[in-house]
């Protein structure tokens, strides 16, 4: 089978790209041909198809909007990609015409590519499947967080315009109005997303939100993300003293929705430092946390909370494997975060918030769920996780729990879907 995979980045920037490259490797191992379509960038992995890729917005080879310089061309391209880009459609149609794939699998496309890619596929009678990595189809903000940084489902129940009145995007009426208008046109009037054969949700919570928004049950499939077993690579030229300590681990972004500050306050309240159990935070800086600590708390944090910046994957794997357990704190609904799967792949228990998609991944047989934004409850869960007999009993359940995330099972379910509508 020739499979067209569409994603707005062709280099690893996060979980969706790791998914794309891991799936591509597995598909090719099974004898399929994978044809990528993305945005041109010097960061891209080498591919024979780069010449077909869409041009970067405004001609600027940058990965994130906050890195872009405001120019008239950039403004035009941003609006075009948000609403409907004929340039992106034309680029994809040329690739399809030259390669004749059997099926299209769309990953991330919104903002950086364009919904016009769906019409490009349909111009050549390609069946289209779309994997949803966030909640953009039910909420223009995509994380379901409003302008007050609170969880919110107003766009699900009351319509996209709530994104405007609540100033959910960049605390701006204009930004909210643009995205709400684009989605309203695309879903209600142009009906672009009606042309998608199936939407692939990674978890039941996402499916529930789409059903509440009015999407057809027949078009929604739940296929969890996969995670392959990891083989630790020997560390070279590393100071390994940190790995010899007992510690709870958080790894990921330090942005507001990740609630790392809540974790810090809960750790201090747990007094696990009295047992010489440390808290390791990997992936950001102390300035990003915006902590308010007393002198006593700061003294404890200085000795028992270690903050690391970015670590290469091979090094991070060692920190996961040597941890007592992984804490995935969060202030948003999440979408089956890769960090939880990575913890399970090393047979580590997970402590996470009882909100959104997270309870569908973690239950009381393989970890702990704390009440949303409840420092006291998270503190108690950390204390329980530090109890070695209890933790050991939970670790025994993880291998069976982790089987549902096997790549072979994920592949088989995708192939069954793809095979239903292929035109030969």
Q: Note whether residue 416 is domain-resident.
A: yes
Average pLDDT over residues 152-162: 93
Would you state the structure tokens that stand for residue 314, as one six-digit string?
A: 């091979």
pLDDT at 370 over 70: yes
Same domain, 127 and 13: yes
| pLDDT at site 237 | 62
| pLDDT, tens only, 316-343 | 999 999 999 999 999 999 989 989 999 9
Q: Note whether residue 206 is domain-resident.
A: yes
Rounded CA-CA distance 155/172 in Å is: 16
pLDDT band at 66 (very low <50, low <70, confident <90, very high): low
B/e letters for 12-22, b = 16+ CB within 10 Å, e = fewer, are eeebbbbbbbb
Q: Note whether residue 233 is domain-resident.
A: no
**224 close to 206: Cβ distance less than 8 angstroms:** no
| pLDDT at site 424 | 47
Average pLDDT over residues 114-123: 97
Same domain, 157 and 296: no
- Assign 3-class secondary structure to the chain: CEEEEECCCCCCCCHHHHHHHHHHHHHHHCCCEEEEECECCCCCCCCCCHHHCECCHHHCCCCCHHHCCCCHHHHHHHHHHHHCCHHHHHHHHHHHHHHCCCEEEECCCCCCCCCHHHHHHHCCCCCEEEECCCCCCCCCCCCCECCCCCECCHHHHHCCCHHHHCCCCCCCHHHHHHHHHHHHHHHHHCCHHHHCCEEEECCHHHHHHHHHHCCCHHHEEECCCCCCCCCCCCCCCCCCHHHHCEEEEEECCCCHHHCHHHHHHHHHHHCHHHHCEEEEEECCCHHHHCCCCCHHHHHHHHHHEEEECCCCHHHHHHHHHCCCEEEECCCCCCCCCHHHHHHHHCCCCEEEECCCCHHHCCCCCCEEEECCCCHHHHHHHHHHHCCHHHHHHHHCCHHHHHHHHCHHHHHHHHHHHHHHCCCC
Bridge partners of residue 278, in order along the sequence: 247
Domain span holding position 290 = 241-404
Same domain, 186 and 286: no
Q: Note whether residue 36 is domain-resident.
A: yes
| pLDDT at site 228 | 82
Could you tell me what percent of the chain has a pLDDT over 70?
A: 96
Q: Note whether residue 108 is domain-resident.
A: yes
Q: For the whole model, what pTM was predicted?
A: 0.90
Same domain, 36 and 178: yes
Q: What are phi and psi of 180, to 5 degrees?
A: -65, -40
Most confidently modeled range among 64-68, 96-100, 170-174: 96-100
Average pLDDT over residues 227-236: 80
| Distance from chain centroid for Cα 259 | 16
Q: Note whether residue 235 is domain-resident.
A: no
| pLDDT at site 362 | 97
Q: Note whether residue 31 is domain-resident.
A: yes
Residues 6+ apart with CB under 8 A from 313: none
| pLDDT at site 18 | 87
Average pLDDT over residues 279-288: 93
| pLDDT at site 16 | 85
More confident residue, 229 or 66: 229
Same domain, 303 and 339: yes
**35 close to 4: Cβ distance less than 8 angstroms:** yes
Average pLDDT over residues 62-77: 71
Residue 189 neighbours by CB distance under 10 Å: 8
Q: Note whether residue 76 is domain-resident.
A: yes
Unique residue bearing structure tokens 């959104």? 356
Same domain, 185 and 282: no
Rounded CA-CA distance 278/305 in Å is: 6
| Distance from chain centroid for Cα 323 | 23
| pLDDT, tens only, 42-62 | 999 999 999 999 999 876 566
| pLDDT at site 301 | 95
pLDDT band at 74 (very low <50, low <70, confident <90, very high): confident
pLDDT at 223 over 90: yes
B/e letters for 211-237, b = 16+ CB within 10 Å, e = fewer, are eebebeeeebbebbbbbeeeeeeeeee
Beta strands across the sheet bearing 246-251: 305-308, 277-282, 246-251, 325-328, 350-353, 367-370
Going 101 to 105 to 111 to 112, the CA torsion angle's sign is: negative
Same domain, 17 and 35: yes
Same domain, 148 and 19: yes
Same domain, 273 and 351: yes
| pLDDT, tens only, 178-211 | 999 999 999 999 999 999 999 999 999 999 999 9
Look over the chain and give the mean of its residue pLDDT values, rounded to a whole number. Answer: 93
| pLDDT, tens only, 377-406 | 999 999 999 999 999 999 999 999 999 999
Number of domains composing the chain: 2
pLDDT at 307 over 50: yes
pLDDT at 63 over 80: no
Q: What are phi and psi of 117, to 5 degrees?
A: -65, -30
Rounded CA-CA distance 227/217 in Å is: 27
Same domain, 209 and 279: no
Same domain, 271 and 211: no
CATH number at residue 143: 3.40.50.2000
Same domain, 338 and 323: yes
Query: Which range is least confidently modeled, 271-280, 312-321, 366-375?
Result: 312-321
């Amino acid at each position: 089978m020739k499979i067209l995979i569409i994603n707005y980045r062709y280099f690893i920037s996060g979980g969706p790209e790791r998914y794309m490259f891991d799936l591509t490797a597995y598909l090719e191992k099974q004898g399929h041909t994978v044809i990528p379509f993305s945005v041109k960038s010097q960061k891209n992995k080498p591919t024979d198809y780069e010449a077909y890729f869409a041009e970067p917005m405004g001609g600027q080879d940058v990965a994130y909007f906050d890195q872009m310089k405001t120019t008239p061309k950039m403004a035009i391209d941003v609006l075009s990609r948000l609403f409907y880009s004929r340039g992106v459609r034309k680029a994809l149609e040329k690739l399809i015409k030259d390669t004749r794939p059997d099926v299209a699998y769309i990953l991330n496309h919104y903002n950086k590519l364009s919904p016009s890619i769906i019409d490009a596929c349909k111009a050549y009678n390609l069946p289209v499947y779309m994997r949803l990595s966030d909640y953009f189809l039910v909420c223009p903000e995509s994380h379901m967080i409003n302008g007050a940084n609170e969880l919110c489902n107003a766009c699900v129940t009351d319509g996209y315009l709530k994104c405007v009145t609540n100033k959910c995007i960049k605390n701006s009426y204009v930004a909210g109005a643009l995205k709400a208008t684009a989605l309203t046109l695309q879903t209600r009037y142009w009906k672009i997303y009606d042309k998608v054969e199936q939407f692939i949700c990674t978890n039941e919570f996402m499916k529930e939100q789409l059903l509440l928004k009015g999407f057809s049950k027949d078009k929604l499939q739940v296929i969890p993300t996969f995670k392959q077993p990891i083989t630790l690579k020997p560390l070279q030229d590393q100071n390994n003293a940190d790995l010899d300590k007992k510690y709870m681990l958080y790894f990921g972004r330090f942005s507001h929705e990740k609630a790392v500050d809540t974790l810090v306050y809960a750790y201090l309240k747990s007094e696990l430092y009295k047992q010489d159990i440390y808290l390791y935070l990997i992936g950001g800086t102390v300035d990003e946390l915006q902590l308010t600590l007393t002198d006593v708390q700061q003294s404890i944090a200085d000795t028992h909370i270690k903050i690391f910046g970015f670590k290469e994957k091979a090094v991070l794997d060692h920190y996961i494997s040597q941890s007592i357990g992984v804490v995935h704190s969060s202030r948003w609904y999440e979408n089956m975060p890769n960090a939880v799967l990575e913890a399970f792949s090393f047979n580590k228990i997970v402590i996470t918030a009882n909100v959104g998609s997270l309870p569908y991944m973690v239950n009381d047989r393989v970890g702990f769920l704390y009440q949303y934004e409840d420092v006291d409850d998270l503190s108690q869960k950390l204390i329980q996780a530090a109890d070695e007999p209890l933790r050991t009993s939970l670790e025994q359940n993880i291998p069976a729990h982790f089987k549902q995330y096997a790549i072979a099972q994920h592949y088989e379910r995708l192939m069954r879907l793809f095979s239903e509508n292929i035109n030969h």
